[in-house]
Amino acid sequence: GISDLFATSSLYKWITNAYGRKIAEIDKVVDMFKNHISGVLNALTQRLSNAMAERLNGKIQELKTVGRGYRTFANFRSAILFFNGGLDLYPH
């Protein structure tokens, strides 16, 4: 990723420039970025995202749909772990 100092200064320059345009829609986006400034800076410097968590959540939602209901939470949990637990079930 890029350095913390470069990311911070670039983001604040962008914020100043964007506010200077006096466009209401842009101001809303800037406000959202400012409300999540630490996450934005982490994304810029660490190149991390929640994509893996979102992918797993999608797989879990698919299990719910395909299963059309599990009798107990324990059964649902077992299905999640079985299909997404990263187990190596092949004999060696």
- Are 55 and 84 found together in one domain? yes
- Are 34 and 60 found together in one domain? no
- Are 59 and 81 found together in one domain? yes
- Are 67 and 37 found together in one domain? no
Q: Mind listing the pLDDT tens digit of every residue in the chain (92 residues)?
A: 678 899 899 999 999 999 999 999 999 999 999 999 988 888 888 876 778 788 888 888 888 877 777 888 888 888 888 888 877 777 77
Tell me how far CA of residue 86 lies from CA of 10, 33, 56, 77, 78, in angstroms. Answer: 40, 35, 12, 14, 13
- Are 23 and 2 found together in one domain? yes
Angle, helices 37-46/4-20, rounded to nearest 10 degrees: 130
Q: Model-level pTM? A: 0.49
- Are 57 and 29 found together in one domain? no
* Number of independent structural domains in the chain: 2
Range of the domain at 82: 50-91
